[in-house]
Amino acid sequence: MADAYTRFVRSAPGALIAKRTGLPRPARLLRREDRPEPVLGPVVVLGDSAGADQVARLLLSWGADVRRRFEELPRVGSVIAVLDEVSAPDQLGPILLPLSGAMRSLAPGARVVTISRPATGEDPSRDAARGAVEGFVRSLAHEMRGGATANGILAADGVALDAPAVIGALRFFLSSRSAFVTGQFLEVASEAGTLTEDQQQPLAGRTALVTGAARGIGAAIARTLAADGAQLVVLDVPAAGTELARLANELRAVPLQLDVTSGGAGRRLVQFLREKSLTLDVVVLNAGITRDKMFANMTPDRWDPVIAVNITSQLSLMEALLEAGDALGDQPRVVSLASTSGIAGNRGQTNYAASKAGVMAFVDALSLRLADAGGTANAVAPGFIETEMTARMPALNREIARRVNSLQQGGLPADVAEAISFLSSAEAGGIQGQTLRVCGQNIVGR
């Protein structure tokens, strides 16, 4: 679904003009249907710790072509730098600098992933080294070309590198399912979670609710979760009943027409689940709206609905599901839709940004409540995604929004859905209260 500019610069004459003038030349991103293999090889594992050896053995068990050096490799598909034992900044160079000479040999759609530890505030030298890894990855991501990405995994002290969530995050970042995720980190706080044997259908046997499912990103989420094996309950407002019924028929899902802002919406959801004898293993809180206006012109009719749909409804639905006792399964996964606007703010979106910042704080708090039951709560923050909503933006604003990220293009609804599917999996049990940006490393925010 490339835009007109991207189609032009990918043509022979357009590519020549773009090269001569320095215009952006967005690469074609390889997604699930383009690159089904889990690891693009050959893969080079950097580092000399026991953890590096452990990661190399893991990749060999996946059938990957694993090397420990770049010599005699004309093309490199993936690089994993294992920095779990660095304790001083001067230890980074010997591990990372070999990648410098191999940057031009990275294949289109290559993946670079670091595995390190988060700073703890206990040791200045060690924390400086750990913090430096984050700066390195975020800067490297801006330099990647050909649709390649760079991301990092932060395994908390005491978490083994073969913990389910570390393996799951590594799988996600190495795969084509993370095509629009770059310059980002996922922190693994514990060894909770379960390894998924069937990587083709990681959500098999799980029941998932998707709110705001009738169209756009919500429909893409539903389709991706269904493709990954989940049984679905798809929810949207009665006004979207026709589209909801069509989607439910397509996915053999259970439809529910419900306004999530109405009084007693949570109680009616619980009653519906009991009537259908359903227990939710995954809850995706996607329903959201915009009512953009400069704050000088903001009125209650624009502020109140955005807050009600985007965050208050999430609070009330989850409270009802938790209080019911029988509505959620063991080790439930909750994933909420945030936004980069909630991270960095956005002109004309004080209401929307407030609601999405609230979402991120909400999942952080909810994760603590769910942790004792083995559950998780996380958020996904999309950047510019090609949807009907963004298609209505003024043309110049839309074009600028597409280009101000490291991948120089808009993402697709499927990109958001892929991140949500991973965070909904059994493997993601050690990831708590995180917000994963799916934005191509948009220049706003952190």
Which 8-state DSSP code applies to residue 246? H
Residue 54 is predicted with a pLDDT of: 97
Q: What residues contact 240, with CB distance under 8 A and at least 6 apart? A: 214, 215, 257
Catalytic residue among 352, 362, 384, 422: 352
How many structural domains is the chain composed of?
3
Same domain, 287 and 358: yes
Low-confidence ranges of the chain (pLDDT < 50): 445-446
* Residue 280 located in a structural domain: yes
* Residue 445 located in a structural domain: no
Same domain, 10 and 38: no
Name the 3-class secondary structure at 3: coil
Same domain, 162 and 249: no
Same domain, 238 and 322: yes
Token pair 């799980």 is found at 206
Cα 446 from Cα 427, distance rounded (Å)? 26
Same domain, 295 and 166: no
* Residue 433 located in a structural domain: yes
Alpha helix (H) residue ranges in 144-215? 164-174
Give per-residue pLDDT as tens, 246-259: 999 999 999 999 99
Domain with 3 in it: 1-25
| pTM > 0.75: yes or no | yes
5 is catalytic: no
Q: Residue 231: how many CA atoms within 13 Å on its side-chain side?
A: 10
* Residue 196 located in a structural domain: no
Q: How many CB atoms lie within 10 A of CB 166?
A: 29
Q: How many CB atoms lie within 10 A of CB 244?
A: 25
Same domain, 259 and 335: yes
* Residue 198 located in a structural domain: no
* Residue 358 located in a structural domain: yes
Same domain, 259 and 319: yes
What is the CATH number for 241?
Answer: 3.40.50.720
* Residue 237 located in a structural domain: yes
Same domain, 322 and 408: yes
Same domain, 249 and 336: yes
Cα 22 from Cα 19, distance rounded (Å)? 5
* Residue 373 located in a structural domain: yes
Same domain, 103 and 179: yes
Same domain, 254 and 382: yes
The DSSP result for 76-105, as a single string, is EEEEEEE-TT--SGGGHHHHHHHHHTTGGG
Same domain, 96 and 173: yes
Residue 444 is predicted with a pLDDT of: 57
Q: Could you say which of 160, 188, 216 is where a domain stops?
A: 188
Answer yes or no: are the C-beta atoms of 89 and 47 closer than 8 Å: no
